[in-house]
Chains A and B, each alone.
Chain A
């Protein structure tokens, strides 16, 4: 019963839209339902990235420690989004802290478990990589826009 519920939850998450039944079955073995209270850390900068999260409700802030300035919040991840891809990329360590800024419900996916399955089933591995690559591309694009600081003064439009 619990597994059926988890399958349904996974199917509803945009990250897994259109995933085949066979690949969903593979993924299911690495998935678990998790909750975090506001203020809880989901990921810690520098620690081993052994999980990633499909956020269902709530919001997670990504922070980076800037020595003199303390933690700097650079992005939030909310419902329907994915938190973390360092589980897939060597050396498998988080580059940010992830803090729940509201109570979070998510599906946690075991990174090590998934890496083994990706190695053993390259079709599945390619499917995961395609989906994560899209997210990486969108985040890169968003980061470019963010660092442009577009809300400053427009050159030539300053009367």
Chain B
């Protein structure tokens, strides 16, 4: 797969201009992760995005954060972001209420390819908050269910309380030819599901290596172990795609804040084919 296939993405005409939008709803997914549903107002009339792209969310007086879009790309006016509260800006985002305003600019970056997956099996592997950027892929695949073969979602989280989108996970699992396997690193006696790392879930699958595309999103260490597992099952590296994460500032490749070797995560990524970033994965302090 060429990098062009994942770079046919939508981009805002004036990428540095933040548009004021209103918070429509705040949904707490877990103790520290929440989804902001956004009323786009006038900004929404010609807004569109592709699965895997991100927006810069601007909290007035606090700063900006790059946040993946977690909603359905077919309903761009129903924009939503699922956010892990980890720093100053995301903590301020977590304090927002319905009716509050923030600035949005975007969408930015490359996207998970949907068209090239037609007629193929798609294996999504998500770890932790990494499920959020893959949720739009699930929406896109399910919208045209017959265009794809098997859809597999492997999802790992730290504990049962850290699982995102639990209701949707159950709904997706009921779809025809969709396999959803969920595991947690730590469980207690009330948890009847899998316990162990997400790569363990491959034990319960038989992948058709030639016909499968794998989209992987999560912490880098988890992605490295997942790549090993996929390659052990015969998937060529050209059929493996990753979403990389770095702090971003300008989101258009000017500032160099998110430089990753010769790549800029904001402009060239965040979605990359494995061959493009493989040589960077084991480098320290990149």
A residues contacting B by CB (< 8 A) are 14, 59, 61, 71-76, 78-81, 101-102, 141-142, 145-146, 148-154, 156-159
Q: Considering the complex, which residues of chain B in the window 187-223 have a beta carbon less than 8 Å from any beta carbon of chain A?
A: 187-189, 191-197, 199-200, 203-204, 218-222
Q: What would be 25 A-B contacts, judged by CB atoms less than 8 Å apart?
A: A59-B192, A59-B194, A61-B187, A73-B186, A73-B188, A74-B186, A75-B196, A76-B183, A76-B187, A101-B192, A142-B197, A146-B197, A149-B185, A150-B221, A151-B127, A151-B128, A151-B156, A151-B157, A151-B158, A151-B162, A151-B218, A154-B220, A158-B86, A158-B247, A159-B90
B127 touches A156 (CB 8 A): no
CB neighbours of A159 from chain B (8 A): 63-66, 86-90, 247
Known A-B contacts A75-B196, A145-B222; the reply to A157 vs B247 at CB < 8 A is yes
- Given the known inter-chain contacts A73-B195, A145-B197, please indicate yes or no for A158 contacting B87, CB distance below 8 A: yes
A102 to B194, CA, bound (A): 11
Main secondary structure of the interface of B (DSSP, over half): mixed
Task: Give B196's nearest chain A residue, CB to CB.
Answer: A75
Known: A150-B128, A150-B222, A151-B219. A81 touches B203 (CB 8 A): yes
Chain A's closest residue to B193 (CB) is: A76
**Which among B128, B199, B204, B219 is the interface contact of A142 at CB below 8 angstroms?**
B199
Per the bound structure, the CA–CA distance linking A146 and B199 in Å amounts to: 10
- Which B residues are CB-close (under 8 A) to A142? 196-197, 199-200
5 shortest A-B CB distances, which residue pairs? A151-B128, A158-B87, A150-B219, A159-B65, A151-B158
With A61-B195, A78-B203, A151-B158 known as contacts, the answer to whether A141 contacts B247 (CB < 8 A) is no
**Minimum CB distance partner of B83 in chain A:** A159
In the complex, are the beta carbons of B158 and A149 less than 8 A apart?
yes
Bound Cα distance A158, B86 (Å): 5
- CB B192 to nearest CB in A, in angstroms, measures 5
Number of interface residues of B (CB under 8 A): 42
Say yes or no: is B60 at the interface (Cβ < 8 Å to chain A): no
Given A148-B221, A151-B156, A156-B246; 12 other pairs, CB 8 A cutoff: A14-B203, A59-B194, A71-B189, A72-B186, A75-B195, A75-B200, A76-B183, A76-B187, A78-B204, A80-B203, A151-B219, A154-B220
Residue B245 is within 8 A (CB to CB) of chain A in the complex:
yes
CB-CB < 8 A to A152: which residues of B? 158
A139 to B86, CA, bound (A): 31
The residue that A145 contacts in the complex, of B90, B192, B225, with Cβ under 8 A, is B225
Q: Write out the residue numbers on chain B whose beta carbons fall within 8 Å of the beta carbon of A75.
A: 195-196, 200
Q: Which residue of B lies closest to A153 (CB)?
A: B86
Closest to A14 in B: B203
Distance, CA A73 to CA B222, complexed state (A) = 21
Closest B residue, CB atoms, query A101: B192
Decide if B195 touches A74 in the complex (CB within 8 Å): yes
With a cutoff of 8 Å between Cβ atoms, the chain B residues found around residue A158 in the complex are: 86-87, 247
